[in-house]
Amino acid sequence: MNNKLDWNDYEIILRIADAGSLSGAAEQMGSSHPTLFRKINAVEEKLGVRLFDRLRTGYQITPAGEELASAARQIAELTNTTERRLSGQDLRPSGVVRVATTDTLLFGILAGEIGRFRQVEPDIILDVSVSNEISNLSLREADIAIRPASSPDDHLVGRRLGVIRQGIYAHRSLDLDAATRPAWGALPWVGPSASMGYGQLHRWMKSAGLDDACVCRLDSVLSIFAAVRSGIGVAVLPCYLADACAELVRLGDPIDDVAVDLWILTHPDLRRTARVRAVLDHFGRIGARL
């Protein structure tokens, strides 16, 4: 029987180790729970050793599994480093560039810029990944990230595009004139859900005593924007997004405590690749629209 592992076996071990569960690993790999279950069982049978303990809380890696997961990380890093360096030898502004950003930035700014970019660089295809999670540029989950960040990773290169200012917005139909507007705490608020990784807004709303005033909580900025447009309540929104909506009105000045820097980032090995450089140069100008 052939008991040698191939890269697919190593990748399965690494994905399960990182996710801590079979379902999480299956989602990352675009596979199904039953398929991955069969595959990890086959790997363990091939080696004759248990790599994970199946617990009610998830998959707990064993010492043998740790050793193989460590080897898998080394293989992945070597492979990714080699691919980045080879990509860096490309001098033609053509091919695919993977860009990671947030749904709000795509809706409010980047969708229009993608259209303009296509006019000047028709041979470059942008593969845009929309997520509010931080993409791992070292592991080639994306070539470029355009997203808010207070302190980008030291191993990445890029530049700060500007400051995303944010303010309190309401639908015009609520008629919240500054002279007659009730106190903030008396207004219906739309806030971030507990699962939304938005520490600045969570802290600001708590410090302003507005947690109890929330009539609705949502897990993305774009969904909060939709709720305010529907007249559900008031909320903190990025000015670049809400100022462009004629249905909304800003109540007062932007809030300094929730301002955040916008960055465009890539891995050092890719910054001189022609197609990546073209994307960096074009989208590096969007700061003027904040």
Q: pLDDT for 73-127, tens place per residue?
A: 988 888 877 777 666 555 558 899 999 999 999 999 999 999 999 999 999 999 9
pLDDT at 131: 82
Q: Is there a common fold for 7-87 and 95-164+261-289?
A: no
Instruction: Judge contact between 187 and 211, C-beta under 8 A.
Output: no
pLDDT at 92: 57
pLDDT at 253: 94
Higher pLDDT, 261 or 84: 261
Q: Which percentage of the chain shows pLDDT scores above 70?
A: 92
In terms of DSSP bridges, do strands 124-130 and 95-101 run parallel, antiparallel, or are they unpaired?
A: parallel
Q: Where are the domains of the chain?
A: 7-87, 95-164+261-289, 166-258
DSSP conformation class of 238: E
pLDDT band per the 50, 70, 90 thresholds, residue 145? very high
Query: Which pair of tokens denotes residue 184?
Result: 């903030």
**Residues 31-83 pLDDT 10s:** 888 999 999 999 999 898 999 999 888 899 999 999 999 998 988 888 877 77
How large is the C-alpha radius of gyration of the chain?
23
Query: What whole-number distance in Å separates Cα of residue 145 and Cα of residue 286?
Result: 14
Q: Which residue has the tokens 């259209």?
A: 115
Query: What whole-number distance in Å separates Cα of residue 271 and Cα of residue 269?
Result: 6
Query: What whole-number distance in Å separates Cα of residue 286 and Cα of residue 274?
Result: 20
Task: Report the phi/psi class of residue 140: left, alpha or beta, with left for phi > 0 and alpha for psi in -120 to 50.
Answer: left
pLDDT band per the 50, 70, 90 thresholds, residue 287? confident
Identify the top-confidence range among 22-26, 88-92, 144-148.
144-148
**Residues 204-216 pLDDT 10s:** 999 999 999 999 9
pLDDT band per the 50, 70, 90 thresholds, residue 135? low
pLDDT at 216: 97
Cα–Cα distance list, 156 to 48, 117, 149, 153 (Å): 41, 24, 12, 6
Q: Output the average pLDDT for the chain.
A: 89
Collect all residues with Cβ–Cβ distance below 8 Å to 180 and sequence separation of at least 6. Answer: none
With vertex at residue 49, the alpha carbon angle to CA 47 and CA 51, rounded to the nearest 5 degrees, is 105
pLDDT band per the 50, 70, 90 thresholds, residue 2? low
Cα–Cα distance list, 26 to 19, 33, 63 (Å): 9, 6, 22
CATH number listed for the domain at residues 95-164+261-289: 3.40.190.10
In terms of DSSP bridges, do strands 189-192 and 214-218 run parallel, antiparallel, or are they unpaired?
A: parallel
CA dihedral 270, 144, 256, 180 (to 10 degrees): 160
Residue 179 pLDDT greater than 80, yes or no: no
Picking from 91, 179, 98, 174, the residue whose alpha carbon sits closest to that of residue 135 is: 98
pLDDT band per the 50, 70, 90 thresholds, residue 256? very high
Q: Which residue has the tokens 């990714």?
A: 80
Q: Is the dihedral of CA 282, 98, 102, 141 positive or negative?
A: negative
Instruction: Judge contact between 181 and 155, C-beta under 8 A.
Output: no
pLDDT at 91: 55
pLDDT at 279: 95
pLDDT band per the 50, 70, 90 thresholds, residue 242? very high
What average pLDDT does range 217-223 have in this prediction?
Answer: 95
pLDDT at 151: 80
CATH of 166-258 among 3.40.50.300, 3.20.20.150, 3.40.190.10, 3.40.50.1360? 3.40.190.10
In CATH, what class is 7-87?
mainly alpha
Query: Which pair of tokens denotes residue 231?
Result: 């007249």
Instruction: Judge contact between 199 and 151, C-beta under 8 A.
Output: no
